[in-house]
Amino acid sequence: MLEKNLPPGFQDMLNFGLIDALLGRRSRRFFMGADIPDGVFAYESCHKTIPLTDLEKMLVVSVCGGNTSWHHMIFRGANYAPYLSNYSGAAGGRVFPSAAGFQTSQIFFTDDEGVYILEMRDAPAFAARADNGSLSLDGFVENVQKRIRKLQDGRLRIPSEVPFTEAHNTWVFNRLSTLLVIPVGDLSQHVLLNMCYMLKNGLVLYDDINKRAIPGIGPHHIDLDFYDKFYNKGAYLRTHATHFERWHMDD
């Protein structure tokens, strides 16, 4: 897809430096057809609005939620080294960081043509990295395109006004020809994964409001003899192995 009919400026995008993007991004925020109706920055573009091309839209959405091959997790934690960590929420990594690799969010986006979801949360790696660690940009964007599902025709009807957006963004939010990307976090799944992470790493969860252990997860012990007999070395953590010695010597 990217190797054919590339538009002017595509190579400039690839060569654009990170520092230039970080320090200069605010000077490039006013787009063709936009209108700031009031205030000291009042300005009306003399051009008609022009929506992003399909390629431009895929590049933006890919940067917001694309898959970056296998999630590498963490090897060096003292409780499980040299084995992989056990708390990543998905096998595939993504372009943005997430606590302990949980990756619970979903990406929605809307433009003049419709409302879409990028179904990438539970996706495996789309490809293995090359020997030099690189990924194909073409494959990266095409994988995103394959995982987009249209939910409805037409733009999502979110008003361009407070309280639906910040007061300083009313001139640009969800306006004609714009692309609006909406990351949506799954707080319930994130909390469950966080609890799993803490318990797997030997932390004790305590209800500090009711002053008691949390029912169902407090008295959780594993049968070390069973694991030693039927599982390979490394099936449980050092915190599990020393649990009784640390907490139940008086039982």
| Residue 42, pLDDT score | 93
Per the domain annotation, does 206 fall within a domain?
no
Nearest-10 crossing angle of helices 54-65, 137-146: 90
Q: Domain total for the chain? A: 1
- Residue 175 φ/ψ region, left for φ over 0, alpha for ψ in the -120 to 50 degree band, beta for the rest: beta
What is the mean pLDDT of the segment spanning 149-162? 97
E strand or H helix at 115, and its extent?
A: strand 114-118
For 69, the domain range is 51-189
Per the domain annotation, does 33 fall within a domain?
no
pLDDT, one tens digit per residue, over 109-123 is: 999 999 999 999 888
Q: Is the bond preceding residue 37 a cis peptide, omega within 30 degrees?
A: no
| Residue 92, pLDDT score | 86
**pTM, entire model:** 0.79
Given a cut of 70, is residue 32 above it in pLDDT? Answer: yes
Exposure string over 6-16, b if 16+ CB within 10 A, otherwise e: eeeeeeeeeee
Per the domain annotation, does 16 fall within a domain?
no
Amino acid at 60: V
Per the domain annotation, does 63 fall within a domain?
yes
Count other C-beta atoms under 10 Å from residue 174's C-beta. 21
Residue of 182, 203, 227, 186 lying closest to 90 (CA atoms): 186
Give every CB contact of residue 251 below 8 A, 6+ residues apart in sequence.
244
Q: How confident is the model at residue 4 (pLDDT cuts 50, 70, 90)?
A: low
